Amino acid sequence: MSFSDELKYDAQGLITAVVQDVETGEVLMVAYMNKEAVDRTLESGKTCFWSRSRQEFWVKGGSSGHFQFVKGIYTDCDRDCLLVKVEQVGAACHDGYRSCFYRRVASDGSLEVVAERVFDPDKVYGS
């Protein structure tokens, strides 16, 4: 039995993957994997996810060149969530920030940007 066979996927066949920088511990992003995405990630050493909106596989960095090189994959005690520790090249966020968690809730309830953009998404992905 392979690692991916031992995981508990939801009704859509997906498991949540929290992606963390292996050096700093910063949470970079959260995405979803199905069994094949887990297997592809293990085989390639780069993160591969399942897009719920596009209904297709995607390798982080495939369009931007900002790949995530897997340094370790962990599962929680229930085996229904993954923690993927990576070496991040460039930025993880398609909005151009290193982490997808670049906004925080201010004391007045508004959102404030708390990080610097690493790249211009219009230049990388087109408008």
* 100 belongs to a structural domain: no
Tokens of 67: 């790949």
pLDDT (mean) for 35-55: 97
Q: How many domains does the chain have?
A: 1
Q: What is the pTM of this model?
A: 0.93
* 109 belongs to a structural domain: no
Question: Which structural domain, as residue segments, surrounds residue 23?
Answer: 3-91
* 120 belongs to a structural domain: no
The SS3 assignment for 30 reads: strand
- What's the pLDDT tens digit per position in 64-79? 999 999 999 999 999 9
pLDDT (mean) for 107-116: 97
* 122 belongs to a structural domain: no
* 56 belongs to a structural domain: yes
User: Residue 70's domain is classified under what CATH number?
Assistant: 3.10.20.810
Using DSSP bridges, classify how beta strands 81-88 and 68-75 pair: parallel, antiparallel or unpaired: antiparallel
- What's the pLDDT tens digit per position in 14-25? 999 999 999 999
The SS3 assignment for 127 reads: coil
Under the banding of pLDDT at 50, 70 and 90, the label for residue 4 is very high
* 53 belongs to a structural domain: yes
Query: Residue 127: how many CB atoms within 10 A of its CB?
Result: 5
User: Residue 70's beta-bridge partner residues?
Assistant: 86
